[in-house]
């Protein structure tokens, strides 16, 4: 089988070479890479296999779970809903429309505080029934009654919420729009609900009808490096109840906007184009005023959960790390195992990398880094 399929625009041939080197040098199983510039898909590459038995090609229709690379896409849905809700802004207190959330001293937390990982609800120290993760409204109710793990909240620094973030975001959308986050995404942004010629093939809550297209994940052999352990990253990652079983039929179908978005590299890159194009995907997702508020940096400095200094706007990371290309003005995010995407407003560029052989990297997987670097080398 050929190492890569798909197309690259003239002048970007080196990106294909680097993509193929990831298979030859790093033993990729299956992967996709895509880039948009000025609204044009300039790169769409796929290679390898969608299953561990190597019987299904990883092609342009293969869906892959991108884990936390889902978060900025879900955040765009929240921003879209906030922009449409009368009298609501990102600085509205969550308790105004979700009264139960005021419990345990959380009454002053705003929508922006939750989206920027400042709620202090990064996990549960006390045991919960792990099946709650597959019941979003019940899990959200549990979060509403839970005390923050640090105080005061917010304080301008983040404590990454790997899973709980999605339940908070989902409940905000449910209460403001009267529909689930995945439904609003499908109806208002991607078009998967109606179908047609201009569908963006990305799902939060993937119906059974699409499961045959989902790639099989090969999990890493080592744990991600969390740095010094503390009560926050233990609650977020290391308890026996910190996550549901991933990859099951139910896990694919339930909406977990922090972690179980399924898509192609091309669909992820097209959605991240919002961060390169003033909030426009097919059309503007929100007003310019809301967009500027959305990209206001809310936190800086050492994260409490992850071993990184992170700048968070409303659910998307700034590029102070340099993981998302050389432009410090880019916005991006990574997902468990190696997926990553970003939007660069100065170059009007977005890129996305997806794969099914996971690494132990939380951010900065070398496979994605090499591809991002190759794109910029071709731009120069």
Task: Render pLDDT for 102-150 as a digit per residue (tens, 0 to 9).
Answer: 999 999 999 999 999 999 999 999 999 999 999 999 999 999 999 999 9
* 3 state DSSP class of 37: strand
- The rounded Cα 170 to chain-centroid distance in angstroms is 13
Cβ-count burial 248-258 (b if 16+ within 10 Å, e if not): eeebbbbbbbb
d(CA 101, CA 109): 9
**What pLDDT is attached to residue 25?**
86
Sheet (strand 261-263) strand order = 64-65, 261-263, 202-204
How many domains in the chain?
1
Angle in degrees, CA 300, 303, 309, rounded to 5? 60
What percent of the chain is predicted at pLDDT more than 70?
100
What's the domain range around 21? 5-379
Distance CA 160, CA 118 (A): 8
Residue 1, pLDDT > 70, answer no
- Summarize pLDDT for 283-308 with one digit per residue, the tens: 999 999 999 999 999 999 999 999 99
Question: What mean pLDDT comes out for the span 47-76?
Answer: 98
pLDDT score, position 26:
78
As a whole number of angstroms, the distance between CA 290 and CA 91 comes to: 10
Burial code (b: 16+ CB inside 10 Å, e: under 16) for 7-26 equals ebeeebeebbebbbbbbeeb
Structure tokens at 265: 């590299």
| 188: CATH | 3.40.710.10
Six-digit token string for 285: 């997702």
Report helix, strand and coil shares of the chain as percent, to nearest 5: 35, 15, 50
DSSP-assigned letter for residue 66: -
Determine the average pLDDT of the residues in 322-327.
Answer: 97
User: Of 12, 8, 6, which Cα lies nearest the Cα of 48?
Assistant: 6
Give pLDDT, residue 380. 78
DSSP state of 245: P
Q: Report residue 2's pLDDT band, with 50, 70 and 90 as the boundaries.
A: confident
- Average pLDDT of every residue of the chain: 97
Q: How many CB atoms lie within 10 A of CB 270?
A: 23
Measured CA to CA, the distance from residue 134 to residue 200 in angstroms comes to 25
Sign of torsion, CA 274 336 106 153? negative
The per-residue pLDDT for 264 is 98
Smallest CA-to-CA distance from 314 within 85, 71, 141 is with 71
Residue 350 has what DSSP assignment? E
Per-residue confidence at 57, pLDDT binned at 50, 70, 90?
very high
Name the nearest CA neighbour of 376 among 41, 40, 15, 21. 15
The pLDDT of 170-195, averaged and rounded, is 97
Contact 212, 206 (CB under 8 A): no
Is 21:370 a contact under the CB 8 Å cutoff?
A: yes
> pLDDT tens digit string along 4-22?
999 999 999 999 999 999 9
pLDDT surpassing 90 at residue 247: no
Tell me what pLDDT residue 13 has. Answer: 97
């Amino acid at each position: 089988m050929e190492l890569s399929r798909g197309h690259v625009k003239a002048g970007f041939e080196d990106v294909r070479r680097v993509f193929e080197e990831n298979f030859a040098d790093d033993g990729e199983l299956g992967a996709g890479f895509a880039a948009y510039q000025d609204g044009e898909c300039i790169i769409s590459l796929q290679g390898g296999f969608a299953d561990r038995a190597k019987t299904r090609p990883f092609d342009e229709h293969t869906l892959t779970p991108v884990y936390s690379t889902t978060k900025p896409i879900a955040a765009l849905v929240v921003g879209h809903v906030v922009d449409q809700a009368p009298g609501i802004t990102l600085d509205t207190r969550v308790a105004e429309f979700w009264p139960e959330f005021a419990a345990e001293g959380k009454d002053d937390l705003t929508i922006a505080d939750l989206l920027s990982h400042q709620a202090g609800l990064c996990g549960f120290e006390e045991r919960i029934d792990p099946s709650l993760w597959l019941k979003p409204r019940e899990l959200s109710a549990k979060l509403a009654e839970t005390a923050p793990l640090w105080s005061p909240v917010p304080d301008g620094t983040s404590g990454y919420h790997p899973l709980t973030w999605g339940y908070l975001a989902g409940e905000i959308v449910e209460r403001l729009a009267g529909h689930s986050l995945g439904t609003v995404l499908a109806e208002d942004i991607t078009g998967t609900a109606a179908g047609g010629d201009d569908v963006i093939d990305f799902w939060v809550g993937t119906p059974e009808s699409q499961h045959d297209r989902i790639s099989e994940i090969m999990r890493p052999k080592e744990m991600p490096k969390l740095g010094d352990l503390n009560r926050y990253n233990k609650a977020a990652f290391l308890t026996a109840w910190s996550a549901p079983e991933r990859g099951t039929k139910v896990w694919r179908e339930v909406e977990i906007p922090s972690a179980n978005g399924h898509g192609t590299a091309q669909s992820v890159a097209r959605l991240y184009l919002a961060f390169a194009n003033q909030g426009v995907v097919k059309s503007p997702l929100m007003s310019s005023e809301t967009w500027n508020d959305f990209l206001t940096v809310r936190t800086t400095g050492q994260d409490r959960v992850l071993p990184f200094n992170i700048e968070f706007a409303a659910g998307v990371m700034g590029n102070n790390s340099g993981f998302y290309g050389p432009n410090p003005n880019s916005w991006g995010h990574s997902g468990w195992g190696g997926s990553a995407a970003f939007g660069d407003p100065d170059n009007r560029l977005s890129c996305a990398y997806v794969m099914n052989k996971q690494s132990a990297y939380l951010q900065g997987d070398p496979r994605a880094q090499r591809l991002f670097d190759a794109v910029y080398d071709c731009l120069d």
